[in-house]
Amino acid sequence: MALAASTTLSATAQNVTDVFTNADFIKHVSETVGGELLSFTISGPTTAAFTTKTVRTLPTTRMPDIVKKFVGDSLTVTQDESWSAPAADGSRTNSIKLSVAKAPVDVSAVQKLVAGGESTVVELTGEVKSGVPFLGAKIASAAEPVIGRALNLQATLAQEWLNTHS
């Protein structure tokens, strides 16, 4: 199933990058949805190319029953990100891989931060896959809107964070 989302944030691409890779912000996003940040690591400065790894637990209370049958009351999500160095205008690309423990769902996405001076367009495209025979497409289609909402929530919370922490 395909993922696609786009939003504009009132901040430079570097400021958006700094928020998206701030451990306190990531903890805030996790807790806002009733989850818990288990770990966050970053490989280097956000002014160059770098990678991050986030591991969090998330509740399954708002997920379709078919997902709950596989994972129970909560799930552990590992998010690996590979950020490009900024382009001359500050734009950059972030390749995202999500894997869910105990669940047959994998997500791969590309997030682009398109610089526009004092604003940044955050564009996300990706795909949700499930390797379960016969049920894979149904599981992926059930997971896609949940993942899409989570990524949109991150952008909304990022704007709030930028407004209160600048």
Residue 20: in which H helix or E strand, if any?
helix 13-20
Given phi > 0 = left and psi -120 to 50 = alpha, else beta, which region is 34? left
The pLDDT mean for the chain works out to 85
Q: Are 56 and 30 within 8 A, CB to CB?
A: yes
Chain centre distance of CA 59? 16
DSSP-derived pairing of the beta strands 50-59 and 36-42 = antiparallel
Segment 120-151, tens digit of pLDDT: 999 988 887 777 666 556 666 666 666 666 66
Q: What is the pLDDT of residues 78-90, one digit of tens each?
A: 999 999 999 999 9
Residue type, 140: A
Q: Mention the CATH class of domain 2-165.
A: alpha beta
Higher pLDDT, 22 or 103: 22
Tell me how long the chain is. 166
Which regions of the chain does DSSP assign to beta strands (E)?
2-9, 36-42, 50-59, 74-83, 92-100, 105-116, 119-130
pLDDT of the residue at 138 = 64
pLDDT value for 129 = 78
Specify the pTM. Answer: 0.85
